């Protein structure tokens, strides 16, 4: 179904195995999910993506659950099946409640609706919003 | 620039004026932003969108700033100029810091990147994620 | 496969059951389609979406079949599997012929092609079009 | 602003001029809009797009105004500024009323909203819809 | 699964059969892939798309493999399952190596990421880039 | 116009200045383009994006011009104004001819068209394509 095979650990190059080892350790899991097994064909990309994700999703000015919910919102807008499933599961494991999920989807869908209206009407941006830009 | 004129209050039908009055009161402002002036050509849509937004963006299981940030994320993914500007301004007025904004954009962009990878590789969804579905 | 379970009528809250009852009555069906069973986890969203759809899709200045075809066109552009299937079925039940469907898809695809060309070339909007804005 | 210059008639190759002549004749205009002046750098594409558009947008099982409205709907979903302006102007010249336009935008925006919900919830397609496929 | 049946050769109209014959001859295959069998319901579109594809994908200033890779990139960005699979297979049959594919996906994903950043930040286009436009 | 100010070199933090210095040196320019001046508010993202771009766009199994053209294709599909302008300029500086550009746009637009057809018809993926997956 995927355009490349899902590599088992033994089939990966050492550079890829090293990243997989880090993911397992960071997440405390015995096996990684399919995304990484597909990406392991490309050790340089695997390394770059894992390092980037680790940095971007770490606790910071936004808490990790908010970041997961943002990830879901963008994945819905971009309609990435895999990412919607994986990040919805991840958000739940980080404590997202059913009510939070319901509100998240309601906001995402409402945004899609007003995005369409503003794009269709080609509404010019108010000066006040640009003034708030700095 | 817009595909319809931006209506002044006096040009609006009474049903539209009633919605505009509610927006001004709810936000404590003297004038509404351009989106509403364009939408005022369509009183039924204006009413439905305002009522919907009020409901969806109200404090609930998610706090209003998180909702604004989700709105920005979706608007970026859908590339709605107006919405990006208006909701970024709105998030700032609700207290979004520069660091929060930087992290928000980093998450949105990282999501776009892995969305493309998962879509391009057509990675099959792990059973574990589906099991987490209920 | 869905990120939430499809609720049976008995599992729904009374507020959700009330909406489902309305949908069944309006459509003269014994059971609603999966979209509503998934959305029933979120009674407020379920209510808002059903009321909105009823209003927006009602006969008006555009006839219901034209509205269904517009719905298909947007759903194709947004690549919503579920919506493409459900609204294509709905348009057929409202009388869409094979020839109409063929022309609809031809227009949608041609629009996608010229959208890409105009976006890629960044063609500036003619004054004449803006003059036609009012 | 565009990534190529807008060619004047005199700057075009004869193959491009021939297409421009056809467009002027078909539309009864003295000059063509910017899209064609940008596309004229690529006579083969210009020819293919004009011939295709003529065929696809001709009266058939769907009337030309419905086709224009479908074109607007897709252009909004794909967020093509130029196409939104040009096809909104074109639909108006073909008789689209303000009420039709309002309903068109309401449908497009509602579709964007339920597209997001169905994509986010990953609702499985009902067998009944697939049965309606033939 | 598709919204129309996949037509067998015997079920097609003569105008459609003529196109299918051309595709088989051009590709040296005994049978065409599903896309053409679905499109065969619409002989005019089938003819237009085949003629267009033949013209656009022919060797020219860009070699056919580069064109296939561009096709994959756009199909990933538009998230077309069918097109991703068919054009990835096609690129491989034209000689795309695993390393080329890995780099292609890395570029597509990186572009999606910086697209999101530039769209989110609403970066104004540099005059130097516009000067390079002609 | 942007949602953040474009930082001058003197306004940047040392971590950001270090990246800007690298960009100037790598490109042999006196000043960087606006994207980097906006991104400089976020030194960690600036560092990650620059390092990633350098790696991804370097000569490898694909030559840098092909990579730039892929970047344009994706940016058109995602409709990123800034990226379309900057990467079109960049591809030209790397030797993209007018004919190559014309063919590139023709492929991107044709792909958008068949993406819409395959998505609208929901064509099932041929086993042969999946067999070509490994």
- Please state the domain extents for chain B: 1-58, 59-122
Residue D51 phi/psi, 5-degree rounding, is -60, -40
**D103 at interface of A, judged by CB pairs closer than 8 A:** no
Whether residue A67 contacts residue B107, with contact meaning beta carbons closer than 8 Å, is answered with: yes
Compare all CA atoms of chain D with the CA of C65 and give the residue at the minimum distance: D66
Specify the CATH superfamily of domain B59-122: AhpD-like (1.20.1290.10)
Average pLDDT over residues E89-115: 97
Higher pLDDT, A134 or F67: F67
Alpha-carbon distances of B39 from A113, E56, E105, rounded to whole Å: 13, 41, 41
Q: Which two tokens stand for residue F12?
A: 């940047």
Identity of the residue in A2, A48, A134 whose CB atom sits nearest the CB atom of F133? A2
Q: Which CATH number fits domain C59-121: 3.40.50.1370, 1.20.1290.10, 3.30.70.1400, 1.10.10.10?
A: 1.20.1290.10
Tell me the C-alpha distance between B107 and B123, whole Å.
Answer: 21
Whether residue C98 contacts residue D13, with contact meaning beta carbons closer than 8 Å, is answered with: no
Specify the CATH superfamily of domain E60-122: AhpD-like (1.20.1290.10)
Q: Which two tokens stand for residue E26?
A: 């051009």
Which pTM value belongs to this model? Answer: 0.96
Structure confidence at residue F132 as a pLDDT band (50, 70, 90): very low
pLDDT digits (tens, 9 = 90+) for A92-120: 999 999 999 999 999 999 999 999 999 99
Alpha-carbon distances of E96 from C125, D95, E79, E87, F62, rounded to whole Å: 39, 51, 21, 11, 10
- Whether residues F115 and C112 touch (CB distance < 8 A) is answered with yes
Residue E19 phi/psi, 5-degree rounding, is -70, -45
Whether residue B122 contacts residue E84, with contact meaning beta carbons closer than 8 Å, is answered with: yes
What is the least distance, in Å, from the CA of B25 to any CA of chain D? 25
Whether residue B48 contacts residue B75, with contact meaning beta carbons closer than 8 Å, is answered with: no
Is A60-122 the same fold as A1-58?
yes
Compare all CA atoms of chain B with the CA of A32 and give the residue at the minimum distance: B126
Please name the residues in contact with E64: beta carbons below 8 A apart, sequence gap of 6 or more.
E57, E58, E94
Compare all CA atoms of chain E with the CA of A133 and give the residue at the minimum distance: E121
Please name the residues in contact with B83: beta carbons below 8 A apart, sequence gap of 6 or more.
A111, A114, A115, A118, B71, B75
What is the CATH T-level fold of the domain B1-58, as seen in this structure?
A: AhpD-like (1.20.1290)
**F97 at interface of E, judged by CB pairs closer than 8 A:** yes
Alpha-carbon distances of D109 from A95, A112, C2, D72, rounded to whole Å: 32, 7, 24, 12
- B90 has pLDDT over 70: yes
Q: What angle do CA C1, B130, C85 make, to 5 degrees?
A: 15
Q: State CA A83 to chain mean position distance.
A: 6
pLDDT score, position E131: 56
pLDDT score, position F1: 76
Buried b (16+ CB within 10 A) or exposed e, A64-102: ebbbbbbbbbbbbbbbbbbbbbbbbbbbbeeebeeebbb
How many CB atoms neighbour CB E116 within 10 A?
Answer: 29
CB contacts of E127 in chain F (<8 Å) are none
- Whether residues F82 and E118 touch (CB distance < 8 A) is answered with yes
Tell me the C-alpha distance between B77 and A119, whole Å.
Answer: 13
What one-character DSSP code corresponds to residue F13? -
Specify the CATH superfamily of domain D60-121: AhpD-like (1.20.1290.10)
Among residues 5-44 of chain E, which lie with CB inside 8 Å of chain D?
5, 44
Alpha-carbon distances of B50 from A35, B18, C48, D29, rounded to whole Å: 40, 11, 12, 42
pLDDT digits (tens, 9 = 90+) for E57-88: 999 999 999 999 999 999 999 999 999 999 99
- A133 has pLDDT over 70: no
Tell me the C-alpha distance between C59 and C77, whole Å.
Answer: 24
CB contacts of E106 in chain F (<8 Å) are 56
**Could you read off the pLDDT tens digit of each residue along chain C, which spans 134 residues?**
799 999 999 999 999 999 999 999 999 999 999 999 999 999 999 999 999 999 999 999 999 999 999 999 999 999 999 999 999 999 999 999 999 999 999 999 999 999 999 999 999 999 888 754 44
> Is the C-alpha dihedral spanning D13, D19, D24, D25 positive or negative?
positive
pLDDT digits (tens, 9 = 90+) for F84-126: 999 999 999 999 999 999 999 999 999 999 999 999 999 999 9
Please name the residues in contact with B49: beta carbons below 8 A apart, sequence gap of 6 or more.
A113, A114, A117, B39
SS (H, E, C) F54-66: HHHHCCCCCCHHH
Whether residue A53 contacts residue B91, with contact meaning beta carbons closer than 8 Å, is answered with: no
Compare all CA atoms of chain A with the CA of F132 and give the residue at the minimum distance: A3
């Amino acid at each position: 179904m995927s355009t490349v095979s899902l590599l088992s650990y033994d089939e990966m190059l050492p550079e890829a195995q090293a990243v997989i080892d880090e993911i397992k350790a960071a997440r405390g899991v015995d096996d990684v999910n399919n995304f990484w097994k597909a990406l392991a064909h490309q050790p340089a990309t695997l390394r770059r993506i894992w390092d980037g994700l680790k940095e971007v999703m770490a606790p910071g000015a936004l808490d990790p659950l908010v970041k997961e919910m943002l990830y879901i919102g963008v994945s819905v807008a971009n309609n990435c099946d895999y990412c919607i499933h994986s990040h919805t599961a991840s958000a739940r494991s980080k404590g997202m409640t059913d009510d939070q999920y319901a509100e998240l989807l309601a906001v995402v869908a409402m945004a899609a609706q007003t995005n369409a209206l503003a794009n269709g009407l080609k509404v010019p941006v108010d000066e006040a919003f640009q003034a708030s830009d700095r």
